[in-house]
Structure 1
Amino acid sequence: MEVKKHEDYSVTLPLLFDNEKKEEDEEYISSTGNASFISTCFNGVNALSGVGILSVPYALASGGWLSLILLFIIASSTFYTGLLIKRCMDVDPTIRTYLDIGERAFGKTGRMLVSMAMNVELYLVAAGFMILEGDNLSELFPEMDFEIYGTHIGAKSGFVILFAIIILPTSWLNSMSVLSYISASGVIASVIILCSVFWAGEFDDIGFQEKGKIVNWNGIPSAISLYAFCYCAHPVFPNIYTSMRNQRHFSKVLFVCFSFCTFTYTTMAVIGYLMFGTKVQSQITLDLPTNNLSSKVAIWTTLVTPIAKYALMITPIVNTIEAWILSSYNKRSYNFLIRTILMISTVIVALSLPFFGYLMSFVGALLSVTTAITIPCLCYLKISGIYRRIGVEMMIVWIVVLIGIVVAAVGSYISLLDMINNV
């Protein structure tokens, strides 16, 4: 086995596998990370599953029952593009981040464009976490106000600030193996939320009496955008991939993660739509009666999800900032400062744009579709060279690219109009 030393790391990476050494090839263990298969699955599921599980009933209500087909199409497309990211990284062992993929495909310009799309998406998702916390805590304690240095702050804004203070220590973590323990709590939280909502419908006199609509054509763009937002973790995949002890199992990790998340998303969408029909809000927890125990469990557990995901989401942003402006400084000494500034800025955005459903729809349409579908496909076409020859694989990739472009154009236009009309 021939190895090559990456210029930024003191580890050796596999560059070329000898086809005659099949057994050694199968037993290859990467020295780039120390995360096990289970911990990697936790990180992957935690990256995919989270606040999206609260919005899928609203997405289903927007598009109608037939829009579930679109959920499966989005899930299949994003799973495929996740595999394409792995293939891009396998072509060149020096690729270690999502930005590296863009640069390897289209040079410095590609890196810059990919960086803009990725970081804006992750940043707005992090701001969405803040909005989520403010919405749910103010639902539990609507009359609680805050007074800071003589300034009166409402319940929702005060809870956003309080949550930021609580979550700040977790944002300082940058080890994937350590984050996997926090990720485990996020995965468990998603299951608890699903079970609590089902319990509220079955045993707390809410019921599943709503029939809903077969299809609502006007709401299809919003539904697609929100479904896409549920699968927007692709910029994190390279970090998860390089953190693995055995990178050959990454495809299995993706399959486990996408299967689990698609099952929970579909189940929550169906349960929520049957419970509240077209009146379901952008976060299903806002529809639950707060006097029931099951509702309180669902709402309080919802508050755990952003705590488990925030550090995982901002890690690529921090890495980008360090690479851009701190190349000549001690990065470790500035790491805490960067993460703290990011936290403060997301709080400001959350207080300025308090529309969770519309914000997530816009992020899903314009940014999530771009980073999860369009960019991986285009980069794979260029890096692999299959664009030079006509074949089944090339046709499949171009079809996925076309789906991404249409969804991004239509969905972002509709969601942007909704945001403007509700300011």
Structure 2
Amino acid sequence: MKLDEEFLHDRDHSFLTDDEENQAALACSDDEHDGDDDGRRGGENSDSSSPLSRDRSDNNLSDVSNPPWPQSYRQSMDLLTGMTPPSVSFMPQSSSRRLASSFQKKQQSSFCDSLSSSSSKPLLSQPVPDKEETILPVNPQSQLKLSVTDLPLPESNLCSFSQSVLNGTNVLCGLGLITMPYAIKESGWLGLPILLFFGVITCYTGVLMKRCLESSPGIQTYPDIGQAAFGITGRFIISILLYVELYAACVEYIIMMSDNLSGLFPNVSLSIASGISLDSPQIFAILTTLLVLPTVWLKDLSLLSYLSVGGVLASILLGICLFWVGAVDGIGFHATGRVFDLSNLPVTIGIFGFGYSGHSVFPNIYSSMKDPSRFPLVLVICFSFCTVLYIAVAVCGYTMFGEAVESQFTLNMPKHFFPSKVAVWTAVITPMTKYALTITPIVMSLEELIPTAKMRSRGVSILFRTMLVTSTLVVALSVPFFAIVAALIGSFLAMLVALIFPCLCYLSILKGKLSNTQIGLCIFIIVFGVVSGCCGTYSAISRLANQMTD
């Protein structure tokens, strides 16, 4: 597109403020002994992630060495994309950079080494403050000030096209897959074209985010986009929404693990003194939480990040097991079911939104690509694959189990079949590898708010993480309804994160540069997201209240 080509060259041109130059020079001083020239070049050439504004006096933000909260977003969310340790050849070398608080010094040193060894780009001895950095005007309240830890990855650590596709698919194809047959049962067969429509518009909003990222150097994450569009307030609102969405996903992980384990061992129960008794789902919810808790204490999550890449294979395996039970083990496929059920459609739309909400990490994937211009193609491939898999699983599950299909199709699969056992254990193990990666961004962002260094000790960190994990267990025990919680997340959070805010930010950042067609399409998506979100949220809350009173 013309718009893509117009802004592509801007991504590599920006200049550091004085404080950031000093910070970069200090980070490189231990490793650079070739003269002042090299040190200056290292500080200046790191500008590809510099702030949106060059003039500190024009902004009311804090010092550049202290960028707005959350500072740890990119490092922590990169883990969630599935980037693996350096020893893994098919994924980028990034594990040592993920936790900014633990690896900041090492990251700065390696970054400066890469700068000093680079000779492919022309280097300037002095910054040029009058140089035009962006084509688009950006909200003056939104100027980003990024520390050296937010500078882009060296070229050798960037992702190839295939790695980006794998990372994007790994993010998208997750919890939503297992509840797709239930979603079609709620809406009827006409829910399938709605599912396809959701795939198209969420893919489009991902492309809009790419254009926002290209509009100005220094925009690298979703909170950055929010700040570029609506200032610090926009950054805070979007960050909070993203973290709440991650927290809700952790709750769903616990519900998913406990439901599937209780399906394998339904007769497990425990009676405690004072008349307290725990049934099978409650026991397994507690046990699985105890199992994932030590992984949250880990300082280095690179191994879990590597294992989480298997989420794509796990999703494919679940689909194969479902089809095998229907086609080979004798369950069969039956052309039954309702054509359309309008009353339950809001719940279905919420589940669809839940299944397509990967937008929190799309900017991270874009920023880590060797060739960011191919990001739209990455999105098309990821969304196409996930949509085909969603439709296949939805059709198989609904034709196999009909109106009896449960919130997770693994609960319907006869447990005496070997593929059923494989599917159930896959549904248990996969969340175990992803739980710590999902909750870590929340932990790191909250730890940033701890006022003094003395309170950031290892013991305090472990206690804090334990309390946060325990809170997800309490919520999971309070609302153990997988599909309804998924519909609530999709209706309230996903509509905002995947539909409404990408369009609002796009309209704000590129104001005056859009055609009437582009503006009209964004307004349509916003209205659709608001209506769907309101109806779906009301329907999910009503159903949740009914379930809890039964």
In structure 2, list runs of 5 or more residues that go unmatched: 1-11, 28-42, 51-119, 123-151
**Per the alignment, do residues 273 and 283 of structure 1 end up closer, same or farther by CA in structure 2, a change over 3 Å counting?**
same
**Per the alignment, do residues 175 and 60 of structure 1 end up closer, same or farther by CA in structure 2, a change over 3 Å counting?**
farther
Task: Check whether the contact 2:49–2:219 (CA below 8 A) recurs between aligned residues.
Answer: no
- Distance (whole Å) between structure 2 residues aligned to residue 218 and residue 201 of structure 1: 29
- How many Å apart are 1:330 and its aligned residue? 9.0
Return the match for 1:104 from 225, 228, 238: 228
Return the match for 2:432 from 293, 307, 314: 307
In structure 2, the partner of 1:159 is 284
Q: Which structure carries more helix by proportion?
A: 1
Identify the structure with bigger relative contact order (alpha carbons < 8 Å, sequence gap 6+).
1
Alignment of 1:267-278 (within 5 A): 267-278=392-403
**Per the alignment, do residues 331 and 68 of structure 1 end up closer, same or farther by CA in structure 2, a change over 3 Å counting?**
farther
TM-score normalised by L of structure 1: 0.87
- Distance (whole Å) between structure 2 residues aligned to residue 325 and residue 93 of structure 1: 30
Deviates more, 1:79-88 or 1:283-292: 79-88
Tell me, yes or no, if structure 1 residue 45 matches structure 2 residue 145. no
Tell me, yes or no, if structure 1 residue 291 matches structure 2 residue 416. yes
In structure 2, the partner of 1:82 is 206
- How many Å apart are 1:379 and its aligned residue? 1.0
In structure 2, the partner of 1:36 is 159
- Distance (whole Å) between structure 2 residues aligned to residue 341 and residue 240 of structure 1: 31
- Distance (whole Å) between structure 2 residues aligned to residue 39 and residue 176 of structure 1: 19
Over residues 51-104 of structure 1, what are the superposed CA-to-partner deviations in whole Å (9 max), with x where a residue is unaligned?
A: 211111010111111111111111111111112222222223322332222122
In structure 1, the partner of 2:523 is 398
Task: Check whether the contact 2:410–2:423 (CA below 8 A) recurs between aligned residues.
Answer: yes
Of structures 1 and 2, the larger Rg is shown by 2
**Per the alignment, do residues 362 and 55 of structure 1 end up closer, same or farther by CA in structure 2, a change over 3 Å counting?**
same
Tell me, yes or no, if structure 1 residue 4 matches structure 2 residue 15. yes
In structure 1, the partner of 2:476 is 350
In structure 2, the partner of 1:416 is 541
Task: Check whether the contact 1:13–1:30 (CA below 8 A) recurs between aligned residues.
Answer: no
Residue identity matched to 2:154: S
- Distance (whole Å) between structure 2 residues aligned to residue 173 and residue 241 of structure 1: 27
Alignment of 1:206-285 (within 5 A): 206-285=331-410
Return the match for 2:48 from 7, 14, 26: 14
In structure 1, the partner of 2:60 is none
Query: What is the RMSD of the two structures over their aligned residues, measured on CA atoms?
Result: 3.0
- How many Å apart are 1:288 and its aligned residue? 1.1
- Distance (whole Å) between structure 2 residues aligned to residue 47 and residue 330 of structure 1: 33
- Distance (whole Å) between structure 1 residues aligned to residue 468 and residue 358 of structure 2: 19
- How many Å apart are 1:338 and its aligned residue? 4.8
**Per the alignment, do residues 375 and 176 of structure 1 end up closer, same or farther by CA in structure 2, a change over 3 Å counting?**
farther
- How many Å apart are 1:110 and its aligned residue? 1.6
- How many Å apart are 1:199 and its aligned residue? 0.7
Deviates more, 1:304-313 or 1:266-275: 304-313
Q: Percent of aligned pairs with the same residue? A: 38
Secondary structure of the corresponding residue to residue 212 of structure 1: coil
Task: Check whether the contact 2:226–2:505 (CA below 8 A) recurs between aligned residues.
Answer: yes
- Distance (whole Å) between structure 1 residues aligned to residue 352 and residue 242 of structure 2: 18
In structure 1, the partner of 2:504 is 378
Secondary structure of the corresponding residue to residue 42 of structure 1: helix
- Distance (whole Å) between structure 2 residues aligned to residue 24 and residue 179 of structure 1: 36
Deviates more, 1:253-262 or 1:283-292: 253-262
In structure 1, the partner of 2:330 is 205
- Distance (whole Å) between structure 1 residues aligned to residue 479 and residue 271 of structure 2: 22
Task: Check whether the contact 1:32–1:244 (CA below 8 A) recurs between aligned residues.
Answer: no
Task: Check whether the contact 2:450–2:456 (CA below 8 A) recurs between aligned residues.
Answer: no
Deviates more, 1:103-112 or 1:73-82: 103-112
Tell me, yes or no, if structure 1 residue 365 matches structure 2 residue 478. no
Deviates more, 1:54-63 or 1:183-192: 183-192
